[in-house]
Chain A
């Protein structure tokens, strides 16, 4: 996530399950697309293009990853 959002270590450490695009200015539309690709690569999953808009929070992403069989940390 830090790579997709181009975050420094401090900003990356502040990310929690409650973090969403609304709290994070770096979570721009373009960075969101990069994040999706990073997630797909990291977890070997594929998101449907139609579900991309709804993945604007860490919680939503974790939910979708769990639904795709990715175990939570």
Chain B
């Protein structure tokens, strides 16, 4: 159905809606778990121009990088959005068909009930045929997306139009009221604080998406200490052999074992609807040389050896450090792991990324005194924390999943 050619492959795959034999609606794929919207920065095809399957249709920009969206088919392309427009994930950006007439005829015959022709593929979509951005906005105003008239799936722009037509609904929602309170500096503080200006775009994007994500889930946490003897030995063995690594590959391995025992870790929910990732692809946090945080994704973690995981982590970390991570490298993480191993951190509680419910973190490895055979010995310990969505699983299930991670680390074959 979809030909990608030389374009970037997105983990979520390009979303197309084939609502007739010949005309294909092209929807914006999700290219980054942190982005529900991207900016269309340029078209590679003229409006009404010819395009071949796999050729780049347009260039897009997320909060973290840029890339191309490939055409799913060969034919004539009719644009639906303008350059510079912010586009919601799942929003239709144009149509490919045999001719402009065929596309226009197709559009004319579509009805508002065409939500039944919702796109295929693992892209995130709401229970009522709405994009995630539309659901988020509608929910913040207490509106059910099913009440919003739209051609096909409800998009964020449909919600905005609906709000414009219904001014009585535009009372500030709870979340917005809270945001307004933050945005307005209390008079009593004005003499006490200095205005440091806006957050950099990258940080602001992360802040917004974390806030949006955490309005959707009920974050809870469970922690366990893990005997790190084998973990330390594996890292030291690698380093002695001249192979650079750290705890992240081991954390990925542990997370994959936890996910196998508890599939809810690689699931997330939008309201009541639950989605589970088909592959255990896991993101890890990495910082660029200029201090920006990224979450590159290691594919098929359970299918890789520790050495392979270490090599892949090093390659992705280098790409992050160079500031050359591709969008495709950040798409589709089913959960995330994070380690603060270079600082004397006992543990840290992570915040889940968008469209994920779980995040596994590790603090620094420390020595603790333990009684072994009646005598005190020092042994390395690391504390793991699993952040999970209490709406998706309970504490016992989360603790069981974390125990599986602990077992995986304590029983490493070194």
8 Å CB interface, A45-71 against B = 47, 49-50, 52-57, 59-60
Let me know if B242 and A60 touch, CB within 8 A. yes
Number of residues from A at the complex interface, CB < 8 A = 23
Let me know if B314 and A53 touch, CB within 8 A. yes
Give Cα distance in the complex from A6 to B254, angstroms: 32
Let me know if A20 and B240 touch, CB within 8 A. yes
Let me know if B244 and A21 touch, CB within 8 A. yes
Give Cα distance in the complex from A40 to B380, angstroms: 36
Main secondary structure of the interface of B (DSSP, over half): helix
Number of residues from B at the complex interface, CB < 8 A = 26
Let me know if B239 and A33 touch, CB within 8 A. no
Give Cα distance in the complex from A67 to B70, angstroms: 37
In whole Å, how far is B248's beta carbon from the nearest beta carbon of chain A? Answer: 8
Let me know if A37 and B321 touch, CB within 8 A. yes
A57 partner residues in chain B, CB cutoff 8 A: 242
- For B237, the closest partner residue in chain A by CB is A22
A29 partner residues in chain B, CB cutoff 8 A: 244-246, 248, 317, 341-342
Main secondary structure of the interface of A (DSSP, over half): helix
- For A54, the closest partner residue in chain B by CB is B243
- Neighbour of A53 across the interface among B287, B315, B341, B342, CB < 8 A: B315
- Neighbour of B242 across the interface among A37, A47, A56, CB < 8 A: A56
Let me know if B318 and A36 touch, CB within 8 A. yes
Let me know if B240 and A22 touch, CB within 8 A. yes
Let me know if B242 and A54 touch, CB within 8 A. yes
In whole Å, how far is A28's beta carbon from the nearest beta carbon of chain B? Answer: 6
8 Å CB interface, B78-124 against A = none
Residues of B within 8 A of A (CB): 236, 238-246, 248, 287, 289, 310-311, 313-319, 321-322, 341-342
